[in-house]
Amino acid sequence: MPTNQFAYGVIGAGSFGTAVANILAENGNVLLYTRREEAYQNMLQDRISRNQNLHANIEPSIDAKDFCRRCRLIFPVVPSAGFRMLMQQFAQYLQPHHILIHGTKGLNLNTPDGHDIHPGKPIPRAHIHTMTEIILQETVVLRVGCLSGPNLAKEIAQGQPAATVIASRFTEVIEQGRQALKSPRFKVYGSHDVSGVEFAGVLKNVMAIASGMLHGLGLGENAKAMLISRGLGEMIKIGRELGADATAFFGIAGIGDLIATCSSSLSRNFSVGYRMATGEPLSDILAGMNEVVEGINTVKLAKGVSLYYQIETPIVEALYQTLYNNQSIQDSLAYLMNYAFDKDADFM
């Protein structure tokens, strides 16, 4: 690839980042950035990342300065826990002409003094930062968007049809992102509701863990349907308190993503819930996974928001007790079935 030619850029060579890079490569040259020397060398030598063959138009990158110089449209796809540090690292090389569309379904929690919030404590909106907000806080980039939807990386890598949403305040960001990702197998929708799309994509991970638990217990479609419908209601309640419009929760990035991750063993969050229900300790499960399970931290966040804004979210409460207070999954299920709450669609 000529060094003076602008390319699409992807930061993060995980499963989804690699899948995004391969789609982009159908429409132009792509730099795929990793900070790990071993991963960089493997991509150079074997042309493989996360068991995915790299398109001929993809060039591995490990040089942040060169990456930012050669790319205008950049897709950061890295775990939320390291997202702020990554933006701080790239900030010195990013300019106002850059466009960033992140694909991270997670949130950053901290207090004004920089300390983590203790599990089980109320959490106000002021202590919650989306990845879009982090980009705006840490860099001079203004044209920012997020990429969210039912995007299981393995299915995308196999060339199966999928859809996603690009959300941004700027129509230009949506259109450039759509142009870059255009593909007969990848449908891209647009939205100006950044908060709604972002929070919907984050909160569905909570319900995916719960769905995996139901599957691990051997429960059927009735139980899963009940979880998805009631879970959507809790997502909307929390999202509203965080400033999101409920409309996005009924679209591809909301109910679409929720159905996919609550139904597939390809979802990391679903897989964790399933394995817990079959008897594996959470610590052992997480220790053996090579990619981050965003839903674990999101349960803590959702619990804290529910406490602060005094909203009823029994599924979140049951999951929180299971993940953080060692309550058995069977007791959590009993809690939900006996919960004194019988009005349907109470989130409308």
Q: Which residues are catalytic?
A: 204
End-to-end Cα separation, the chain, in angstroms: 52
Helical pair 171-181 and 15-24, crossing angle rounded to 10 deg: 80
**Could you tell me the two tokens for 37?**
């020397």
The span from the CA of 277 to the CA of 59, in Å, is 41
Quick one: how many helices (H) and strands (E) in the chain?
A: 15, 12
**Could you tell me the two tokens for 319?**
């999951």
Element (H, E) at 61: strand 58-61
In a 3-state reduction of DSSP, which class is residue 11? strand
For 165, phi then psi, to 5°, come to -125, 130
The answer to whether 294 and 202 are in contact (CB under 8 A) is yes
**Could you tell me the two tokens for 279?**
């008897």
Q: Which residue is listed with tokens 């939807």?
A: 149
DSSP secondary structure string for all residues of 36-58: -HHHHHHHHHH-EETTEEPPTTE
**Could you tell me the two tokens for 136?**
């705006």
Q: Which residue is listed with tokens 């997020």?
A: 146
